[in-house]
Amino acid sequence: MANLNASTLATLPREVKLPQYDVASTTSGIVHIGPGAFHRAHQAVYTDLAMAHGGNWRIDAVSMRSKTLKDKLAEQDNLYSLVVLDNQPYTQIIGALNNVYVLSEDRSAIMASLTAPTTHIVTLTITEKGYCLDNQGKLDAAHPDIMHDKDFPDEPISAIGLLVAALSARKAANTGDITIVSCDNVSDNGSKLGAAVVAFANLLDAELAQWIKSNIAFPNTMVDSITPATDEALVEQTAAALGVTDRWPIQREAFTQWVVEDKFSGPRPAWEKVGVTFTDDVNMFEKAKLRVLNGTHSTLAYVGSLLNIDTVYEAISKPEIEAFVRRLLETEILPTIEVGNKMNLPAYADAILTRYHNKHIRHLLSQIAWDGSQKLPFRILNTLRDRIKAKASFERLCVPVAAWLLFIARRQQAGENITDPMGEHLLSLAEKHQGDTTAFTDAVLNERDVFAELSDNPAFRNTVHKKVQQMASLNNETMAQCLGEL
């Protein structure tokens, strides 16, 4: 079977949606760092649609480590297919990627793209851990990657170091009309990214740091669309639908949302014409999404893992689990989000639970469970802090924390690894305290890089202990009783 590429576009079935601009003659205007599945299903799709309204906005994608995307799309002219899974599914060919680079192989080309006068936007999806922040949300100057980049600023290995190197060159060339847009699930993502970039620049050159602070915009954003990982079944399904082979298609639900602070240093694509919301206040949208969707996603991931459930759909289809998630939302999550009359929070929460019931999406809980030490502070612990501050109940918010602890312990007992920057350390704690759940719980709760001041809160600590004991015997037989008590 032939590959998907520019020469085979004309052979695709008529129902397949194609780019509505001349891909071959459209050049780059955006650099994206971290071109994983979410970027290719979200920002790249919005940009692809926006180019129908004009402009040279194709994307030079920069992978910080992995060569997989570059290798798989090399024979496809960087084209790929988006498969939208819903009651009315469709397939769309995305032409937004112009080049795919890997930092270890293409450093010169990456710097050329980042510093080109025609590049006006840098976007990032590098996950929470890619920002090299401490537990206060500030640049961790002791992070190994940051220490390396301080010593070797012309050969950075972190996204922060790469941005500062590019901005230094743009300062020298007097091309400051570039906006840097974080698209990760980090609260106040743009503000934190901007502060981290300025802090690192200040380690090298105080004048550069001040120039960045005065000239470069880092808008806050909120992004949302459930995007399961690509598997072999999707590759086979896509080939059958297209009649050609796409070596790395991506899939997502029909729902998609991108809210961006209206603060740019230079031009941008016509994103507002294709569904992007520009606003002066992203915080409300971002907090609602992080706490309602991401918070319940992590809850489902860790509770579901204790029951050997594979997907979000399977988990939410268990009446006891859905009932617990609804109680968690109504009693402890929604009361922490102030929206006035700008959003109907109960309706928003209901809509998210309805999305979880999309049987066409196979969203693996194991994927959501990655990087718990980085995700839980934003998705659960900040909500919990607000409840403590309000002197309100937070027992149910301790359930995903307890479930995460049991998730780690059971992975260690099974001899399995976990995907987490603290994974080896957490597993070593589980091994050290194997058979003593109380000691293990205390050991993890002492990790201030995760829990910060919560480590010193006896009410929080005692509640987590209680939930760990309640959930230690959670299985399919005890689910109804156990979750009913949580």
Q: How confident is the model at residue 136 (pLDDT cuts 50, 70, 90)?
A: confident
Total domains, the chain: 2
Q: What band does 232 get if pLDDT is binned at 50, 70 and 90?
A: very high
Whether residue 202 is found in the same domain as residue 257: yes
Say what the pLDDT of residue 364 is: 93
For the cut 90, the answer to whether the pLDDT of residue 481 exceeds it is no
pLDDT digits (tens, 9 = 90+) for 158-217: 999 999 999 999 999 999 999 999 999 888 999 999 999 999 999 999 999 999 999 999
**CATH classification of the domain holding 87:** 3.40.50.720
pLDDT-derived band at 486 (thresholds 50, 70, 90) equals confident
Among 235, 257, 279, the domain-final residue is 279
Task: Find the mean pLDDT for residues 17-34.
Answer: 98
Asked if the structure places residue 1 within a domain, the reply is no
* Residue 337 falls inside a structural domain: yes
Query: Are residue 255 and residue 134 in the same domain, yes or no?
Result: yes
Residues 474 and 392 in one domain: yes
Q: For residue 2, is it within any domain?
A: no
pLDDT for position 77: 98
Domain that holds residue 448: 283-485
Asked whether the predicted pLDDT for residue 474 surpasses 90, the reply is no
Does position 389 have pLDDT exceeding 90, yes or no?
yes
- Percentage of the chain lying above the pLDDT 90 cut: 93
- Using the 3D structure, point to which of 225, 256, 279 is the last residue of a domain: 279
Write down which residue in 279, 311, 333 finishes a domain: 279
8 Å CB contact between 265 and 178: yes
Task: Name the amino acid, one letter, at 312.
Answer: V
Which residue, among 30, 14, 22, 37, has the nearest Cα to 363 in the 3D structure?
A: 37
Task: State which amino acid sits at residue 130.
Answer: G
How much is the pLDDT for 90?
96
Stretch among 140-144, 434-438, 474-478 having the lowest mean pLDDT: 474-478
pLDDT (average), residues 394-418: 97
Structural domain contains residue 206:
yes
In percent, the amount of the chain with pLDDT more than 70 equals: 100
- Give this prediction's pTM: 0.85
Residues 464 and 476 in one domain: yes
Tens-place pLDDT, residues 302-333 = 999 999 999 999 999 999 999 999 999 999 99
Does residue 241 sit in the same domain as residue 288? no
